[in-house]
Structure 1
Amino acid sequence: MTNKPDVSVLCFEGHKVRVLQLSGDPWFIAKDVCQALEIVNHRMALKALDHDEKGVNLTYTPGGQQLMRIVSESGFYKLIARSRKASTPNTFAHRFSNWVFREVIPSIRKHGAYGVPWALLHDFTRRSADSVERGSQAGKALVIRKIEKHQLAHEEKHLLDCFQPRLALGGESDAE
């Protein structure tokens, strides 16, 4: 698969699953899906899928273009259905699968889409990181300013302690 995809992001309890639109069909980043389903050995899980339910796609990531394993919509559903943890109450995988079947799929059916477009999320993430960096730099500058202020106050006290008594004593001896 080589055509340039549109990417959106499904976000559940802080976990992001990237979804590519390839030739009008959703393809899910396999690593994201397996992490959400708490599947440790994603290679074995993908081996169990039919050949047409999995693939590889050159995908944009914050680290640049990378070949990513992807699964089709039917492969996505099979991974959920075959996941033991997805059917175990009180696990993240169970909550994730419930969310997919109760919210995501009905929204896609009703509205044609679900999730945040990747470009918007990436732009937000970049701006958020920039803001944190500027705050960090401002915080460092404030700490430096406080240290300088303390050092100047200490230096002023030292100068006064060292030289003012001499000036005062020198002034008294001149007056005598």
Structure 2
Amino acid sequence: MKSKNNSLNAGGFAHPKFSDETILNINSDDISVIRFENVQVRIVKINNNPWFVAKDVCDALQLTNSRAALLALDEDEKDVSLIYTLGGNQKLNIISESGFYKLIARSRKATTKGTFAHRFTNWVFRDVIPSIRKTGAYGVPFSALNDFTKRQQQYQITASKHGRDLQSCKQKKADLQREERELWKKYQPDFLDGEIH
């Protein structure tokens, strides 16, 4: 398949360009989240292909000019999608898997030892990609994380109303912390190396 500029892309396969109708059908079941050192990257599954939220990737790679980073990608490696977030549906820039790898390869900080971007890149290539190859997935499904976050917010409202000394609120908080550890243990076990308490 050839793209508009008649060059072959992605090993001979051009990424599909999505219509507004396709984009609007993305729901929380098609979103997962990976987290590294408290930076989250949302991944949207479109036609069984991973697309990454561009802002999250640029933050992880410490790219300060995300607009320039996106302009450097081929047209079939970027798109805009309506994605459910905790604040409601938002239009977000997304990048294809090949676009994600291109941003990593082009990032100076990703190749500079000692930077966060370098650690993130190593983690992607050493942990995330091998896990996806073996199991087909990596990260916590957004719907599970979203449900947890809503209950955590409800706890904070309840704790404020009833005061901090209520034993039931303390127990609920401990239960939520334990549940969060279990979510990360189940979907991203390497993350638990002392980061969630």
Normalised by the length of structure 1, the TM-score is 0.77
SS at match of 1:71: strand
After TM superposition, list the pairs within 5 Å mapping 1:12-161 onto structure 2: 12-139=36-163
Distance 1:101 1:122 in 2: 27
Structure 1 segments of 4+ aligned residues over 2 angstroms from their partners: 136-142
Cα distance in 1 between the residues matched to 2:63 and 2:92 = 17
How far has the Cα of 1:44 moved from its partner? Answer: 0.1
Q: Separation in 2 of the partners of 1:134 and 1:86? A: 43
Question: Which sections of structure 1, spanning at least 5 residues, go unmatched?
Answer: 143-176
AA of the residue aligned to 1:80: I
1:109-158 deviation digits (Å, cap 9, x = unpaired): 0000000000000111111121122222222798xxxxxxxxxxxxxxxx
Please identify the structure whose Cα radius of gyration is greater: 1
Identity among equivalent positions (%) equals: 59
How many pairs does the alignment contain?
142
**One-letter amino acid of the structure 2 residue matched with residue 68 of structure 1:** L
Deviation per residue, 1:26-62 (Å, 9 max, x gap): 0000000000111010000000001111001111111
Q: SS in structure 1 opposite 2:163?
A: helix
Whole-Å separation in 2 of the counterparts to 1:141 and 1:88: 48
Per-residue CA deviation, residues 3-35 of structure 1 (Å, 9 max, x unaligned), is 425000011111110000000100000000000
2:33 alignment counterpart: 9
- The structure carrying a bigger helix percent of its residues is 1
2:46 maps to amino acid: L
Structure 2, unaligned runs of 5 or more: 1-17, 167-197
- With normalisation by structure 2, the TM-score equals 0.69
Deviation per CA, 1:55-109: give whole Å up to 9, x if none. Answer: 0111111111111100000000011111111111111111111100000000000
How far apart, in 1, do the equivalents of 2:94 and 2:70 lie? 9
- Cα distance in 1, alignment partners of residues 165 and 125 from structure 2: 50
Q: In structure 2, give the amino acid aligned to 1:13.
A: E
Amino acid at match of 2:83: T
